[in-house]
Structure 1
Amino acid sequence: MLGQFPHGKVHCSIAFDVDAQRYLLVSDSFSDILGVEATHLQQNTDFLNGIIAPEAFNNIKQLTNNLTEGAHIQINYTLNTNNRQLTEHRKLITDAITRHKILISEITGIQLPEASRREQFLNSLIDSQTNFLVRIDVEGNFTYVNPQFTKTFGYAWNEIIGHHFSETTIPQEVYKCEEAFVNCLENPGKIVKLIHKKPDKRGFLHDTEWEFISIIDDNGKVVEIQGIGQDITQQLHAQEEAMRIKTSLEALINNTQDHIWSVDRERRYMYMNQSYISQITYLTGVEPKKGDYSNKHAGFTKQIIDEWNIYYQRALNGENYTVISQSADPAGGRPLYFEVNFNPIYTASGEIIGVGCFGHNITSRLKNQQDLMDQNLRLRNIASLSSHELRRPVASMLGLISIMDRENFFNPDNEAIIGHVLTVSKEIDEVVRLIVDSTFVK
């Protein structure tokens, strides 16, 4: 498109009937100069609509609306379509026949040579960068900053160019910048990295990350230092938040009495919370370390290792399950019981890369359950004694009492009945003793 014109001026004429809202004349060079197809005119009564910046378009439209007959204006704008800078002369006249108002536009521009266009393209590319680009002379003064730098830190061009780099650095970190500056001067071609806080014009601090390199002339002499940087404030905040969450989570995990650990496919420890480390150390006398092979732990017997290799393999095969593991307390040898849940660890693609384990000491729970079972057994025994052994002598006593002569207490038959009552009372006493013995744990 641009190559169709010789070096020098380009020109386009446009005549637009304001009253009829239609184009009367458009030069053949219109499409090539403005970088649009002919259909653009069919869709827009104002040919600049959509091909220059909105703010510039609104300003030009206002100037045109205020244009009086016979007057003319000169406007300059840059096209979005091909980045060409154009000058336009607009004049408003009245057609002698139709008495319609006609807007005449004469558009001119300079067709740049190929080298100039390349330079313009590179400058546009640099200016559109989201990273910072700066250049500093050997005295430490800024010679160039790109728009992203001035936009982020709020400085005008003249507030930066010619000023020393220390003016845009907090006093506490000037030494970092000076060390990087000297390093670049003394080591041409070496990339020097720098992370430091840089204040904007309002005083807010930005965490920035830079890479500096010296620029040398044909004689190998350093003439400037160029730096490419970026604002990593949000990135650092995100890292700090992630670290805070990680620290809180680890504190929570390490403050629980449950055992949490994981192993990779080779059975090496990937993670262990403090409870697990303390428990294994207590049971075996050897502290486990991250990265150690769990199946080579010095405190485990071969039987234990073989048993746990099976457990881990089941989880590595994709099974999620729970087992009850028994150990012996080194202090006294009493049995300890742990409920352990095994969970496969998957990657985002579904590959199993390890096993996550959660263990809980259930010794007290099992003891409570056993105590409850023993208590239930005793209650059943008491119920049995009450319903069988106790009811028999009580029934006998009630029978004896019923045949006793209450009107003549000295009846000779009463003596025999009272003897039997004493015998039955002893039987009741023996049953009561059995009930008492069954109630309390020996």
Structure 2
Amino acid sequence: MQPSILPLISECIIAFNLSLQQYITIGPCISMLSGYPENTVPTEADFWHAAIHPADIESVKEALSRLSEDEPVQVSYRTLTVNDPGSRYITEKRSIYTDAITNQQILLSILNESVPPVVSARPGVNDDALKREQFLLSLINSQTNFLVRLNTKGYFTFVNKRYCEVFGYTDAELIGQHFAINTAPEDMERCQRAFEECVAAPGKIIPLMREKLDKAGKRHPSEWEFISIINEEGDVTEIQGVGQDISQKVEIQNEVKRTVEKLNDFIESITDSFLILDNNWRFIKTNKAFEALSHKSSEELVGNSIWDVFPTLNGGQAEQQFRLAAETQQTLKFTEYVESSRLWLRIAVYPSAEGLTVFIKDITRQKIAEKELDWARSNLEALINNTDDLIWSLDKNNRYVFFNTSYRDVVLHETGIVPVNGQDVVIYGPAQTIEIWAGYYRRALSGERYTVIYENTHSGPGEPLYFEVSFNPIYNDAQEIVGTGCFAREITARLRTEREIVAQNERLRQIASLSSHELRRPVASMLGLINVIDFEDFACQENKEAINLLLVVGNEIDEVIRAIVDNTFTGEGPALPENGNNN
């Protein structure tokens, strides 16, 4: 069997961003060279150099030390891996270039594997060619990639072990068959064009992604590179293809795509404005909420600098906070008022190595509500503090929550203590008074709403002071009692007035009694005496007696009138006779 004249691994490209210290591209064959598992993304630079043969390390370091942006280098070395105890012979072309868009330095490595010369001890045969063929077959059958060869008609002339294992065929079932045997029907036209292009362009690598079918009909996404094999005369004799199963890669890509779609749906569904800026302050992504807020379309935003699109931001708080977040790599939140649109915005800035992610929430209504609440609170406090009534509230532990100026002044005057919110309520007076007030608060905290008339006899000498005190339980939204609201009003003057009214009513009742009973009797006596007077013989003895009786009745009427006058103004008139007989 004639060995292939092409390298087993061709043009394996690795790109590393020196500025960000992360890989951009890792070729599909690197796992064979480095010993890393497939689909593993290393983080350290030159990770495959750990597998360099110890005898070649110094020469590799010396060669790579000459690398610069103006001078690429090429170095050859052997590698040893745990899974493959034999040496692999690698030629690496390395260069540095600067990305024209991001202005970041990129380290580019292109790896090719070559077959080393070997020495055979078998006499009488071409030992060198035999050893080389055996070594190549060993490499081909031990690798995890697919390797196939086709003749110029498209029929298999060789398939490696890995290809047979994945697709469920034996090499005997495939050799001599056209590549259409396990090509998906929808891919057949593309595969035929790639095959013809490969035959027509010797030396050109033709990439191809397609789905191949295994023997059971299951589809396997695969990635291939095809190149034509030529003889000494330059004629194409075969087509060789190296490929790999990318089912897991495709699944990861699909999962990433689904995740991105879900993320985009989420970003578009949120009511907050959202935007992403790169490290050059250019818009990478925005959502519809931000486009509506800024009155800009996505085309006007994406790809353009935020400072060019919104020049009014230059020198303002937003620019300062954005640049500070990018510099310190710390999350920042701030509030911005936009004068032109009269909007209040709450802005959260989340930095990353790639730029800034920004959430913007319109809080204009909240700010207006806060202003109105402050205004209402100020007016309410002014109203509460402009009354002589005492107002205070306590929590469940009898600590102050609120009190007005009048309450504070009274407590300070009576005790010399200034009440403070959060501290225990001040109860002053004798022990009995303290217990009475503690009972008042307990009743309110138990849910009772009530009013008491409290007599204060300990505040000073003289007449006691009277207060009407209301106790009201305070409930939260869950209808749980969380405190007590108290309202006290001095009613000493009111009670005095009420007593005076009661006394006056009693005097009026006595006057009515005097008028209806005590005065009517002597008047009736006087009228009766007048009727018995003899006006024809006025000097008769009977008239003299009647006139004397009229004098007595007149005196009696005078006494009753005096009693009425005294009761009217003082309530202390002479006692009334027990009966109407003065005789």
Do the two structures share a fold, i.e. TM-score over 0.5?
yes
Would you say 1:156 and 2:297 are equivalent positions?
A: yes
3-state SS of 1:211 partner:
strand
Given candidates 515, 525, 528, the residue that maps to 1:396 is: 525
3-state SS of 2:334 partner:
strand
Matched residues in 2 for 1:326 and 1:197: separation? Answer: 56
Q: Give the conservation status (yes or no) of the 8 Å contact 2:429–2:458.
A: no
Q: Give the conservation status (yes or no) of the 8 Å contact 1:284–1:300.
A: no
Matched residues in 2 for 1:402 and 1:124: separation? Answer: 118
3-state SS of 2:316 partner:
helix
Matched residues in 1 for 2:358 and 2:365: separation? Answer: 21
Matched residues in 2 for 1:8 and 1:192: separation? Answer: 56
Q: Give the conservation status (yes or no) of the 8 Å contact 2:273–2:293.
A: no
Would you say 1:205 and 2:350 are equivalent positions?
A: no
Range with greater deviation from structure 2 (341-350 or 276-285): 276-285
Instruction: Provide closer, same or farther for how the CA distance between residues 414 and 122 of structure 1 changes in structure 2, counting only shifts above 3 A.
Output: closer
3-state SS of 2:343 partner:
strand
3-state SS of 1:204 partner:
coil
Q: CA deviation at 1:131?
A: 2.4
Match of 1:436 in 2: 565
Match of 1:30 in 2: none
Match of 2:473 in 1: 344
Q: CA deviation at 1:150?
A: 0.5
Q: Give the conservation status (yes or no) of the 8 Å contact 2:332–2:350.
A: yes
Match of 1:193 in 2: 333
Would you say 1:133 and 2:274 are equivalent positions?
A: yes
Q: Give the conservation status (yes or no) of the 8 Å contact 1:283–1:329.
A: no
Larger radius of gyration: 2
Matched residues in 1 for 2:433 and 2:311: separation? Answer: 62
Q: CA deviation at 1:437?
A: 0.5
Match of 1:357 in 2: 486
Given candidates 497, 501, 505, the residue that maps to 1:368 is: 497
3-state SS of 1:381 partner:
helix
Matched residues in 1 for 2:559 and 2:355: separation? Answer: 111
Q: Give the conservation status (yes or no) of the 8 Å contact 1:170–1:197.
A: no
3-state SS of 1:429 partner:
helix
3-state SS of 1:305 partner:
helix
C-alpha distance after superposition, 1:104-155 (max 9, x if no partner): xxxxxxx995244544444444344332222335565544433321022221
Match of 2:433 in 1: 304
Matched residues in 2 for 1:292 and 1:118: separation? Answer: 54
Given candidates 305, 311, 314, the residue that maps to 2:443 is: 314
Range with greater deviation from structure 2 (272-281 or 398-407): 272-281
Q: Give the conservation status (yes or no) of the 8 Å contact 1:210–1:228.
A: yes
Matched residues in 2 for 1:165 and 1:394: separation? Answer: 112
Supply the AA of the counterpart residue of 2:555. Answer: K
Relative contact order, CA 8 A, sep 6+: which one is greater?
Answer: 1
Match of 1:67 in 2: none
3-state SS of 1:322 partner:
strand
Q: How does 1:37-436 map to 2 (within 5 A)?
A: 113-114=253-254, 115-138=256-279, 140-161=281-302, 162-165=304-307, 168=310, 174-188=315-329, 190-198=330-338, 203-216=340-353, 224-294=355-425, 296-297=426-427, 299-328=428-457, 333-436=462-565
Q: Give the conservation status (yes or no) of the 8 Å contact 1:207–1:231.
A: yes
Matched residues in 2 for 1:267 and 1:345: separation? Answer: 12
Structure 2 unmatched ranges of 5 or more: 1-182, 188-249, 572-583
Q: Give the conservation status (yes or no) of the 8 Å contact 1:126–1:146.
A: yes
Instruction: Provide closer, same or farther for how the CA distance between residues 169 and 206 of structure 1 changes in structure 2, counting only shifts above 3 A.
Output: farther
Q: Give the conservation status (yes or no) of the 8 Å contact 1:168–1:198.
A: no
Matched residues in 2 for 1:140 and 1:191: separation? Answer: 17
Instruction: Provide closer, same or farther for how the CA distance between residues 329 and 405 of structure 1 changes in structure 2, counting only shifts above 3 A.
Output: farther
Matched residues in 1 for 2:391 and 2:186: separation? Answer: 78
Supply the AA of the counterpart residue of 2:334. Answer: L
Instruction: Provide closer, same or farther for how the CA distance between residues 326 and 343 of structure 1 changes in structure 2, counting only shifts above 3 A.
Output: same
Instruction: Provide closer, same or farther for how the CA distance between residues 168 and 363 of structure 1 changes in structure 2, counting only shifts above 3 A.
Output: farther
Q: CA deviation at 1:375?
A: 1.0
Matched residues in 1 for 2:545 and 2:402: separation? Answer: 84
Matched residues in 2 for 1:308 and 1:378: separation? Answer: 39
Instruction: Provide closer, same or farther for how the CA distance between residues 207 and 288 of structure 1 changes in structure 2, counting only shifts above 3 A.
Output: same
3-state SS of 2:539 partner:
coil
Supply the AA of the counterpart residue of 1:197. Answer: Y
Q: Give the conservation status (yes or no) of the 8 Å contact 2:345–2:364.
A: yes
Supply the AA of the counterpart residue of 1:150. Answer: E
Matched residues in 2 for 1:357 and 1:242: separation? Answer: 23
Instruction: Provide closer, same or farther for how the CA distance between residues 431 and 121 of structure 1 changes in structure 2, counting only shifts above 3 A.
Output: closer
Instruction: Provide closer, same or farther for how the CA distance between residues 416 and 169 of structure 1 changes in structure 2, counting only shifts above 3 A.
Output: farther
3-state SS of 1:399 partner:
helix
Instruction: Provide closer, same or farther for how the CA distance between residues 126 and 267 of structure 1 changes in structure 2, counting only shifts above 3 A.
Output: closer
What TM-score do the two structures reach when normalised by structure 1? 0.63
Q: CA deviation at 1:285?
A: 5.0
Instruction: Provide closer, same or farther for how the CA distance between residues 412 and 9 of structure 1 changes in structure 2, counting only shifts above 3 A.
Output: farther
Instruction: Provide closer, same or farther for how the CA distance between residues 174 and 323 of structure 1 changes in structure 2, counting only shifts above 3 A.
Output: farther
Q: Give the conservation status (yes or no) of the 8 Å contact 2:453–2:467.
A: yes
- Using the aligned pairs only, state the percent identity: 38
Instruction: Provide closer, same or farther for how the CA distance between residues 265 and 9 of structure 1 changes in structure 2, counting only shifts above 3 A.
Output: farther
Match of 1:89 in 2: none
Matched residues in 2 for 1:326 and 1:174: separation? Answer: 68
Matched residues in 2 for 1:321 and 1:342: separation? Answer: 6
Match of 1:29 in 2: none
What TM-score do the two structures reach when normalised by structure 2? 0.49
Matched residues in 1 for 2:185 and 2:382: separation? Answer: 73
Instruction: Provide closer, same or farther for how the CA distance between residues 127 and 318 of structure 1 changes in structure 2, counting only shifts above 3 A.
Output: closer
Supply the AA of the counterpart residue of 1:191. Answer: T
